[in-house]
Amino acid sequence: MKILIRLLQIMGSTWLTMLIAIVFGCLTIGSNIGLLAASAYLISNAALHPAINELSTAIVGVRFFGISRAVFRYLERYISHDATFRLLEVVRVWFYTKLEGLSTARLMQWQSGELFSAIVGDVEILKEFYLRVLAPPFIGVVVFSTVCWFLAQYSMNFVYVLTGGFVVAGLILPIFLQTIQKSTAHKLVVARGELRAQLVDSMTGIVELAAFNQTGRQARLIDDIHQRLLSLQSNVSKLSGLTDAIGLFVVNSTVWLILWLTIPLIHNGSMEGIYLAVVVLTVQSSFEAVLPLPFAVHYLGESMAAARRLFTIVDTEPVVLEDEGMINIPDTRIDVENLSFRYSPESPLVLNKISFAVGAGQRLAIVGPSGAGKSTLLHLFLRFWDYQQGSIRLGGHEFKKYDASKLRAMFGVVTQQTHLFNASIRDNILLARPDASENQFDQAIKHAELGEFIEKLPQGYDTMVGQNGYALSGGQRQRIAIARALLKNAPILILDEPTVGLDALTEQLIMETIGKLMTGRTTIMITHRLTGLETMDEIIVLSSGSMVEQGRQAELLANKQLFDQLWHLQHDVI
């Protein structure tokens, strides 16, 4: 019920259009009933050879309802589809806005395919919510009341029989269907989501799957889910066939009963014979309003399951809570004091009482073996997570006092996994600053040393990079990341192992370009490669979340502790 109310609240802005569509839905079925009733009256009356003027009202009625049925049906379809697509837009925008507020850290806990499935699939299912769930009961009630009023003019027995037929077809049948396929709707939504998630996963990891000869295994996994989905869909189809058959049986039984009740009324003269066909066809055509109801129950189940999944994602607590009194950022000095952090209350401390400082314009390197907590520290700097103990201060003020987006605007980032969008090279670079001038763009290209490479491409800056930039080498991707950082021109630079996976020569060339990028910027570089660190003002060494050493490279080597060991390990190997 709570889910239903929330869903109705989201679609609140489209209610007027939906109401108009419902009115046209009622008018369409009304016209259909009118057409059949007027035709029955016309044919029955004509059989008695009356004067032609006695038939003229019925003739006009048939013409009117014949035309109005088509016009109303068109308007109802047009408006209801318009309302549905508006609703889809509303739900998509609502969902995306909620996702944005969740921050990267929370989104990491969902598989990318799961989010994709929610954005595309679950939202799509919700479009049925109006067309097949909300509208049919309203139309059913309006048509039922009007037809009952009409039948009551002849006999209350007609009303009782029609009520019986409507209750069976519109209430008992849907409840029966709901009981039988109670969990099927939920299972269908879950299986569809799983299939999409697996497909996205397989496409993203296709290289690994091929390299480890696991494509067959993955294909079998997808096939299993597909078979499960097929069997669920086949169950739904069987049930919908059965429901159709039972529905038709109820319609025809009601019509027979009405006919059976009409004959004695005509015999004893309390009803004129020409109304026999009118009453019978009115009853038969009124069922058009009730037959969609069993399916409304099925789609209600699917819509609720889809909505539940969407709400579970958007209800995830944001990990970064904005402080009320946000302040402007004065300068770029960073002070970290007794900083401790764990990912959740149950998990162990990933950072344990870390303290260090980076003055404005200084360069700090954070080094240490894998799992030491280097990336976690970076996530805290970018406010993907909020720390629990200790403090990080920027320009003398606590990090949590800043608006997260203003804070992130202070940081330029070059990471080991530069994501490139399936767009042109120009658009990928402009991502950092869409309103950059031509001159600013040219300067960024020049300093990132991308010009020569791009000019050789047949379409230059307009060359599409392909899905996640598959058409570019590692070095070229990193130069695009550097160009982005240059264009953003943020005063603090975060480098997260920017040369991982590059060959030695490319690494050296990229580090030279990064050297220029660091000029005049406060820099924090995370690395486990201990080369080129002699230019850093300070190096901190992390191990299992604790800071074990601190100083310049020469001091750390002289200390003969962890840094010295790691340094010799790497240089001896080289």
Residues at the site binding ligand ADP, with contacts judged by CB under 6 A: 108, 343, 347, 350, 368, 370-376
For residue 357, give every residue at least 6 positions away whose Cβ sits within 8 Å of its Cβ, in sequence order, or none: 333, 334, 335, 336
* For ligand ADP, the closer CB: 10 or 372: 372
CB atoms closer than 10 angstroms to residue 353: 14
Sheet holding 492-496, edge to edge: 411-414, 492-496, 522-527, 363-367, 538-543, 546-551
Report d(CA 38, CA 25) in Å as an integer.
Answer: 20
* 530 Cα distance to chain centroid: 42
CB of 105 to ligand ADP, least distance (A): 7
CB of 496 to ligand ADP, least distance (A): 8
Instruction: Look at strands 522-527 and 546-551 and give their pairing.
Output: unpaired
* 226 Cα distance to chain centroid: 22
* For ligand ADP, the closer CB: 22 or 367: 367
CB of 530 to ligand ADP, least distance (A): 14
* 224 Cα distance to chain centroid: 25
Report d(CA 144, CA 287) in Å as an integer.
Answer: 9
CB of 409 to ligand ADP, least distance (A): 24
* For ligand ADP, the closer CB: 289 or 350: 350
* For ligand ADP, the closer CB: 304 or 372: 372
CB of 544 to ligand ADP, least distance (A): 8
CB of 525 to ligand ADP, least distance (A): 13
CB of 365 to ligand ADP, least distance (A): 13
Contact 73, 29 (CB under 8 A): no
Instruction: Look at strands 492-496 and 411-414 and give their pairing.
Output: parallel
- Closest listed residue to residue 499, CA positions, set 485, 484, 479, 483: 479
CA atoms within 13 A on the CB side of 517: 37
* 494 Cα distance to chain centroid: 30
CB of 343 to ligand ADP, least distance (A): 4
Tokens of residue 194, six digits: 């799983």
List b or e across 161-177, with b for residues whose CB sees 16 or more CB atoms inside 10 angstroms.
Answer: bbeebbebbbeebbebb
* For ligand ADP, the closer CB: 496 or 538: 496
* For ligand ADP, the closer CB: 7 or 354: 354
* For ligand ADP, the closer CB: 4 or 548: 548
* For ligand ADP, the closer CB: 336 or 454: 336
List b or e across 104-122, with b for residues whose CB sees 16 or more CB atoms inside 10 angstroms.
Answer: ebbeeebbebbbbbbbebb
* For ligand ADP, the closer CB: 271 or 351: 351
CB of 307 to ligand ADP, least distance (A): 27
